[in-house]
Amino acid sequence: MKRALLLALLLLLGAKFAALSIEPYGDQVFDLATGVTTLPQGGVIHDNENDLSIDANYIEYKENEYVLAKEAKTTADKVSFRAASLRYLPAEDSVSLQGGLSLDTAEIKQLSAKSGTLFLKDGVAVLSGDVRAAEPELQAAWLIADYKNGTALLMAPYQFKDESLGVTLRGKNPEKPLFVRFSKDGKKTSASSKAPPQIKERLMQFAEKAAREK
């Protein structure tokens, strides 16, 4: 009887985790005492509401609370990224990334950092720690990007190669970020030391929020 009940619980949890659908690659282990389900061989988690997909080698989740994943390949709103570890909090609509983090968007190619946080509903990514990208060529201590609207702040010390002007822009003052507006084709990307006040204020709020959540 207990075995049949446990199997029913596994099937139910495997089919749906709140708004998430779960596709395991192998076994599912459900702990009745903690309510935690583990996918030792990994699997794929879809959150259609946030257009989020997580494909990982190991997944652990608790209903309505969190998803933890290791060696994860993920897409969210056409942004693809990889990380050694990932924590998704559905209630907060946030994804925290650690270790070997890399992202690709239509505007930025081969973007990497040590850690990052995605705010899914707002379409904002906050990256920190040796932030680098190949196209456009840039380096920064922090990058705060509105990936839905194609704008970002590079926090000093930063370096940005402006292809349109044929110059490399550098900054060391942490109170004066570089404002970048990206183009879809990468040919009209522009940069300015004067960020629009409303955009700067909005993006800096996400940087502060990401710092609190670490």
pLDDT in tens, 46-98: 887 778 999 999 999 998 899 999 999 988 877 888 999 999 998 888 999 99
> Is 24 within a domain?
yes
Q: Which of 36, 56, 76 is the last residue of a domain?
A: 76
Tokens of 185: 């084709």
pLDDT in tens, 169-188: 999 998 899 999 987 655 67
Measured distance CA(177)–CA(197) in Å, rounded: 12
Which pLDDT belongs to residue 6? Answer: 44
> What's the total number of domains in the chain?
2
Per DSSP, what are the bridge partners of residue 23?
Answer: 44
* pLDDT at residue 4 tops 60: no
Buried b (16+ CB within 10 A) or exposed e, 38-47: bbeebbbbbb
> Is 154 within a domain?
yes
> Is 137 within a domain?
yes
pTM of the model: 0.84
Are residues 154 and 202 both part of a single domain? yes
Is there a contact between 163 and 183 (Cβ–Cβ < 8 Å)?
no
135: left (phi over 0), alpha (psi -120 to 50) or beta: beta
Q: Which domain holds residue 126?
A: 104-214
Going by C-alpha positions, the residue among 165, 115, 156, 157 that lies closest to residue 136 is 165
> Is 133 within a domain?
yes
Task: List C-alpha distances in Å: 212 to 24, 94, 129, 176.
Answer: 32, 13, 16, 22
Q: Which of 29, 59, 76 is the last residue of a domain?
A: 76
Which pLDDT belongs to residue 7? Answer: 42
> Is 94 within a domain?
no
Tokens of 5: 């009940």
